[in-house]
Amino acid sequence: GTRPCLLLYSPGESWEWFKALGEVQQQYEIVEASSYHDAMNRSKGNHVLLCGVDERALDIVKHVRSVSKDVFICVYNERACDMPVLRMKLFNELKVNMVSYHPESITCALMRVLRIVQNPGKFDCVRCGAKKLSEDSLCLHEPLYHANDKSIDRMECPICRKTIRGPYAVHLHHKHGPIGRGEEFSGDAQSSHPRLYSFALVVCRNPNTRKYLVVQEFCNSGYWLPGGAVDAGEDIKIAALRETKEEAGLDVELKGILRFEMSPRKEYVRLRVIFYAEPLNEDLPKSIPDFESVGATWISAEELAHSHLRGKEPLRWCNYLENGGSVYPLTLLTRESTKVTLSDPFVPTNEAN
């Protein structure tokens, strides 16, 4: 099969961890650029560019993106992962596809690129012009490469040739590939939601760093809280944990409830429960772009106030908690006929003095 080229470039980074990954190393033609000139000459036609954030590396990123929109560009740098403003700049101004400092996530993304490259077909990507993609490859390519791109809301689907009146990415996800053929289940399919539209949002704070978990939403929408719709037959607490795992890549523990919200409409009722949570471990947030999100990061209260947000809600809940707002016990939310017991409000650890 096709053996794509992987260009490693950044004088300030060490690639020993990557060279030890035998499976990926065997399936890629790995080129470690020893100089700026070498990287510039080799960048054309590469399928993947993996680099750091030093000045010359970012010049390489600008050059590669200027000559080719279909190269998968991943920035491998701890600082870029920990600084939300820098992360957003890399996506929006330099048009990178992924920012990560987690070797396993990068390896997973590289394996997905391989699946795309090694399964050719007759379709082209309408965004970047990547050619000869199979139906499954196109369904894998769209979220991995373009999760942060602006939504395309009206177009002719390149696969079924139907006119799409909603978001192209949503149509592709639900109507084509393994999910469209019924080989895989997608709980967020519109038909699975009951008339009571229930949603769970999670405000997750690390008690040690006092930073908040935010998700980088698709289509350059900005940072937002982990959360989403509750599937039919699903407990809303389970939905909160599932959505946090899917969108942010982390396992968390629900500690309490911040608020219940209900919005009655003529044809439906919308219910939201906003949970307070803390991380179960020190795992890194998700960094592989997919249908659920572009990735996630930890952000301080100060950074949150100056970041690109999908809406003001993350900042509002951050301010609420930082000013000693109450967190109510999870026992407020129970199944019918559950035994009534007394409980004390949960107090988050490491509260501000």
- Both tokens of 137, joined, read 């490859």
Angle at 231 between CA 176 and CA 168, to 5 degrees: 30
Dist CA 136 CA 112 (whole Å): 11
Residues 105-113: what's their mean pLDDT?
91
Query: SS3 sequence, 98-131?
Result: EEECCHHHHHHHHHHHHHHHCCEEEECCCCCCCC
Q: Are residues 173 and 98 in the same domain?
A: no
- Cβ contact 37:79 at 8 Å: no
> Among the residues of the chain, which ranges form H helices?
16-19, 22-27, 36-42, 55-67, 78-82, 84-92, 103-117, 135-146, 168-175, 177-180, 236-248, 301-304, 313-322
Strands 72-76 and 48-51, bridge-based pairing: parallel
Supply the pLDDT for residue 144. Answer: 97
Q: Are residues 208 and 318 in the same domain?
A: yes
- Cβ contact 224:217 at 8 Å: yes
Supply the pLDDT for residue 103. Answer: 86
> Any residues with CB less than 8 A from the CB of 40 and at least 6 apart, and which?
60, 63
Which of 2-11, 17-26, 48-57, 282-291 tops mean pLDDT? 282-291
Please give the C-alpha separations between residue 300 and each of 42, 211, 266, 293, 318, in angstroms, as whole numbers: 39, 4, 40, 20, 9
pLDDT band at 344 (very low <50, low <70, confident <90, very high): low
Query: Is it the case that residue 349 has pLDDT exceeding 60?
Result: no
Q: Which among 85, 118, 151 is the end of a domain?
A: 118
Q: How many CA atoms lie within 13 A of 9 on its CB side?
A: 28
Q: Is residue 349 in some structural domain?
A: no
**Percentage of residues in the chain having pLDDT higher than 90:** 61
Strand partners, 5: 29
Supply the pLDDT for residue 352. Answer: 42
Between these two residues, 275 and 233, which has the higher pLDDT value? 275
Residues 278-288: what's their mean pLDDT?
96
Query: Is it the case that residue 208 has pLDDT exceeding 90?
Result: yes
- Cβ contact 160:139 at 8 Å: no
Q: Are residues 206 and 325 in the same domain?
A: yes
pLDDT band at 193 (very low <50, low <70, confident <90, very high): very low
Q: Are residues 244 and 156 in the same domain?
A: no
> Any residues with CB less than 8 A from the CB of 261 and at least 6 apart, and which?
271, 272, 273, 274
37-91 residue pLDDT tens: 666 676 666 688 888 888 888 888 998 888 888 999 999 989 999 999 999 999 9
Query: Is it the case that residue 353 has pLDDT exceeding 50?
Result: no
Which stretch of DSSP H or E encloses residue 72? strand 72-76
**Percentage of residues in the chain having pLDDT higher than 70:** 86
Q: Are residues 67 and 196 in the same domain?
A: no
Supply the pLDDT for residue 24. Answer: 75
Tally of domains within the chain: 3
> Any residues with CB less than 8 A from the CB of 41 and at least 6 apart, and which?
none
Supply the pLDDT for residue 137. Answer: 95
Q: Is residue 199 in some structural domain?
A: yes
Q: Which among 68, 83, 118 is the end of a domain?
A: 118
pLDDT band at 2 (very low <50, low <70, confident <90, very high): low
Q: Is residue 136 in some structural domain?
A: yes
Check which CATH number belongs to the domain holding 300 and give it. 3.90.79.10
119-141 residue pLDDT tens: 999 999 999 999 999 999 999 99
Strands 269-279 and 252-264, bridge-based pairing: antiparallel
Supply the pLDDT for residue 12. Answer: 63
Q: What is the pTM of this model?
A: 0.81
Domain span including residue 264: 192-332
Dist CA 225 CA 31 (whole Å): 39
Between these two residues, 36 and 213, which has the higher pLDDT value? 213
Q: Are residues 63 and 24 in the same domain?
A: yes
Q: Are residues 201 and 321 in the same domain?
A: yes
234-268 residue pLDDT tens: 999 999 999 999 999 999 999 999 999 999 887 88
Residue in the structure block whose two tokens are 């035998």:
22
Q: Is residue 342 in some structural domain?
A: no
Check which CATH number belongs to the domain holding 179 and give it. 3.30.160
- Cβ contact 231:192 at 8 Å: yes
Eight-class DSSP state of 346: B
Supply the pLDDT for residue 343. Answer: 67
Instruction: Report the number of secondary-structure helices (H) and strands (E) in the chain.
Output: 13, 16
Supply the pLDDT for residue 180. Answer: 87
Q: Are residues 308 and 204 in the same domain?
A: yes
Q: Which of 249, 220, 254 is nearest to 104 (CA)?
A: 249
Q: Are residues 200 and 301 in the same domain?
A: yes
- Both tokens of 283, joined, read 């795992």
Query: Is it the case that residue 175 has pLDDT exceeding 60?
Result: yes
